[in-house]
Structure 1
Amino acid sequence: MKIRRILATAVAAAVTTPVLLLSVTPAFADDKPAAQTQEKKQSIAELEKAAAAAKAVYDDAVAAESAAEAALEATIADTFPLTVAAKAAEVVAAEAATAKTAADQAVTDAKAVVDGLPETATEEERTAAATALTEAEAAAVTADQAKTAADAAVVTAVDARDDARVEAARALGQAQEATKVALADKTAADKALADAKEEAEEEGEDCVPEAKLTTVVTGLPSTVVAGTKVNFKLRVTNGTDRTMDEVLPFAYVHATDKSGLDELDDLVKLQWLSGSSSKWKTVDNEHYMDAISPLKAGAHADIKMRLAIDAAAPAGNGVTFVAGDYFNDNGTCGGTPDLEGYEFMIAAAGSKPGKVDDAKPGATKPNTSDLKPQSGTSASPVNGSLAATGSSSATSQLALASGAALAIGAGAMFVVRRRKAGSHA
């Protein structure tokens, strides 16, 4: 038997778009063979659409990168308008420098004439020499001003040309990064599709969705400051009229900076605490916690959890997903139809957000009214019944690609988790 859950969202990405928080699409097969086949086809069809969308984004990114590269090459060409303007300014500056040199020499020559007048020079000759010197000095001042203005024009023109080149180079770098992100999206989408097709070909009985198996988070703040840890609770409730022999709680956290471009998953850590241990355990790459064995009809179990955010994390956004799967000794199995996503903001280290509300689920909040807690207690943590069979044996696959580009399109995200036949035993 296997459980498969596919999370799919389209990512609208522009420079001004904040982080994308995820929505949930159920992907369990129905319990009837015909419905199972139809659901598989629908899930694969959705993945095919997502893969096609991711490819379109990648193609657009490649085209944008080529355009950015061409734009940079244009700024380096001799025919680039700002380059032409800079060269023209340099010509004018050179001519102004020549004119200034000539004007300075004329002043020197005029002074030599004045100094060289003999004592026998007439008053008319002296006046003419003095007038020539005055005119030469005035011309020299004008030439100096013209040279100063021409030199300043050269600086302005060269700066404009160089700024254009730097901006073009920056745009190319951003386009190249966007291409990498789009390629990662495409690779993830292609792999998710290939895995789904492979899984559809495997023999075995599909598990069924169970809306009355619910997972609800309480106490997770809607804003968490980087460098802090916050405790919250995950309640798993069996709202059916039958005992579930083994229930596997599932949790996963994803975060990005405010732009949505940079993932912060390495800086966020999700932990849980077993009722039989005082040591916090990190939710591993399988994203399952130890099994609740059993969870009786109408009962619930509370799991203490903790979200830790590294002080190096920038301001951003995050989402914590929770779900649950069950397996019975008689071979029946199933799980919550949806992944429940609780969105939160990350405040920079040292921030003081004050009193904040609890994070709210992105989907409809499950109805847990009129359900009795396990062993008749109202809020008892899982105690003694957590078996060590869940996290070590569950096989899951995560393909998460946050799509964001320079206003050139959208990407697709997928979370696929799968549990194969007999892995819960």
Structure 2
Amino acid sequence: MKIRRILATAVAAAVTTPALLLSVTPAFADDKPAAQKQQLPSITELEKAVAAAEAAYDDAVAAESAARAALEAAMSDTSPLAVAAKAAEVAAADAASAKTDADQVVVDAKAAVDALPETATEEQKAAAATTLTKAEAAAVAAGEAKAAADAKVVEALDARDDERFAAARTRDQAQKATKAARAAMIAANEALSDAREWDGSDCFAEAKLTMALTGLPSTVAAGTKVNFNLRVTNGTDETMEKVLPFATIEATDRSGLKGIDDLVHLQWLSASSSTWKTVDNRNYMDAVGPLKAGAHADVKMRLTIDASAPAGNGVTFVGGDYFNDDGRICGSADFERYEFLIAAAGSKPGKVDDAKPGQVDDAKPGKTKPNTSDLKPQSGASASPVSGSLAATGSSSPTSQLALASGAALAIGAGAVFVARRRKAGSHA
């Protein structure tokens, strides 16, 4: 089995890009996804990927530890901003007390004016009026000082709380980064382990075994479902006894930070049953075959997005392996990536183009280009449908075990796509 071998490249691409795992700010929001060339990596390349994954995990653990310490310091009453806020509160209390005293002096001065006897001299009346005027001016000044002190309290508390909020957010993102780095490390180690166990006999990446989605819209509104096909094409000049298609799907909100996989459901329909089966990112679909030279077969698929799903981004990867009676175990050379936008529930995307397959353009790193895999048989004749379409052979237990790591690797690769597209989620709200 070679699903892990093919997908190990996706692991390598992800784990050697620590910025995608350790970023705790949107600084990389406009970066392009790292190149993910779907080819069989060597043991040396996988060993380097494992080393990079382990280093990235160590960095993530250290970053999380630092973030926890920073949050603890920010929450402390002895932090500089907490101390400044406390001092501002004390100053505000003093200003309030001074304002109360000044108001009382005004009351006393008014009482003194009212208490002047009829026999009071002009000099006595003038002195009492002057005292009252001064008291009133002092009360106004005390009021202004109190207002200024109150404003400083608000400013100081906001600064303290902002620091605490930022520290808590950084801690949370560091925890997520550690979790992602650990998953990448596990996937890389499993890919290396599988590669060491596999002897590579008679196995190669067959560029003319292709998996292509047709009819998947480039924008799908939450609360709707769409039907489309996965076309499996044998473009070689020999029969493939059994082809096992594989698919996986991942989704995030527009920020690219929150996964919404549980709100996005990818299903397929077996030729032997009318019951839709859910793609679980771990198992092959039922086998297609025998698939003659130049023939193709279609697997019916359905995408359902829950109405509660936020606007965001989705990506589906498709690929597969084939097995012949002579013992050969081979597979498609590339896993195709189909990206689509998720529009908010109730929106009407209207007529949109189908999602297009994309591969990384070597000439322009970070730019995608349409897939140019040859979908025709070597004879030049157009591909013809295979009779019988899907064989109801089901999935064997070894395939389930192998595809388990494949799902993890694809999730990492999909994450790279989402982070790079955070600010390019489309116009459908």
**TM-score tier (shorter):** 0.7 to 0.9
Aligned residues: 384
Give the corresponding residue for 1:130: 129
The one-letter amino acid of 2:263's match is L
Secondary structure of the equivalent of 1:291?
coil
- The equivalent of 1:309 in structure 2 is 305
Distance change in 2, residues 1:166/1:118 (3 Å): same
Letter in 1 for 2:390: L
Q: 1:230 aligns with which of 220, 226, 229?
A: 226
**Structure 2 partner of 1:391:** 395
Deviations 1:151-203 (A, max 9, x none): 33333323322332233223222223322222232233233333433x24xx6
Q: Which is bigger in relative contact order (C-alpha 8 A, separation at least 6)?
A: 1
The farther-off stretch of 4-13 and 354-363 is 4-13
Query: 1-side partners of 2:261 and 2:74: how far apart?
Result: 39
- Residue identity opposite 1:366 in structure 2: S
1:291 aligns to what?
287
Residues 54-93 of structure 1 correspond to what in structure 2 (within 5 A)? 54-76=53-75, 80-93=79-92
Largest Rg, 1 or 2: 1
Q: Which residue of 2 aligns with 1:367?
A: 374
- The answer to whether the 8 Å contact 1:342/1:362 transfers is yes
Question: Which whole-Å CA distance do the structure 2 matches of 1:308 and 1:206 have between them?
Answer: 39
Q: CA deviation at 1:119?
A: 4.3
Residue 214 of structure 1 is matched in structure 2 by 210
Q: Deviations over 1:122-159 (max 9, x none)?
A: 33333323332333233233323323332333333233
SS in 1 for 2:5: strand
3-state SS in 2 of match to 1:147: helix
Q: Aligned-pair distance for 1:52?
A: 2.3
Q: TM-score, normalised by structure 1?
A: 0.77
- What SS class does the counterpart of residue 29 from structure 2 fall into? coil
Equivalent-residue separation in structure 2 for 1:225 and 1:131 (angstroms): 76
Q: Tell me if 1:175 matches 2:171.
A: no
Give 1:69's aligned amino acid: R
- Cα distance in 1 for residues equivalent to 2:129 and 2:412: 81
TM-score, with structure 2 as normaliser: 0.77
Aligned twin of 2:6:
6
2:67 and 2:170 in contact (8 A); partners too: yes
The answer for the alignment partner of 2:250 in structure 1 is: 254
Post-superposition offset of 1:385: 5.3
Distance 2:284 2:375 in 1: 22
Partner residue, 2:39: 26
Contact 2:299 2:390 in 1 (8 A): no
Find the aligned partners of 1:256 and 1:298 in 2 and give their Cα distance. 38
The Cα shift of 1:223 comes to 1.9
Partner of 2:29: 17
Partner of 2:277: 281
Amino acid at match of 2:6: I
Q: Deviations over 1:211-250 (max 9, x none)?
A: 3322232222222222222222222222333222222222
Aligned CA distance change for structure 1 residues 96 and 313 (closer, same or farther; 3 Å): closer
CA distance in 1, matches of 2:56, 2:200: 36
Structure 2 residues not aligned, in runs of 5+: 360-370, 420-429
- The within-5 A match list for 1:97-136 is 97-136=96-135
Contact 1:26 1:339 (8 Å CA) reproduced: no
- SS of the residue corresponding to residue 357 of structure 2 reads coil
Query: 1:152 and 1:17, CA in 2 relative to 1: closer, same or farther beyond 3 A?
Result: closer
Q: Structure 1 340/89 Cα, relative in aligned 2: closer, same or farther at 3 Å?
A: closer
- Note the C-alpha offset of 1:383: 5.2
Cα deviation digits, residues 41-93 of structure 1 (max 9, x gap): x5332222222222333233233333333433443456644334334433433
Instruction: Check whether the contact 1:58–1:183 (CA below 8 A) recurs between aligned residues.
Output: yes
DSSP 3-state at the match of 1:386: coil
- Displacement after TM superposition at 1:101 (Å): 3.6
Give how far 1:291 is off: 1.9
The alpha-carbon distance between structure 1 residues 288 and 74, as it changes in their structure 2 partners (threshold 3 A), is closer
Q: CA 1:192/1:134 → structure 2, altered by over 3 Å: closer, same or farther?
A: same
Task: Give the Cα–Cα distance (whole angstroms) in 2 for the partners of residues 261 and 226 of structure 1.
Answer: 19
State the Cα distance separating 1:353 from its structure 2 match: 1.9
* Equivalent residue, structure 2, for 1:30: none
User: Which consecutive unaligned segments of at least 5 residues does structure 1 have?
Assistant: 28-41, 375-379, 409-425
Indicate how the Cα distance of structure 1 residues 372 and 156 shifts in structure 2: closer, same or farther if over 3 A, else same. closer
Identity of aligned residues (%): 67
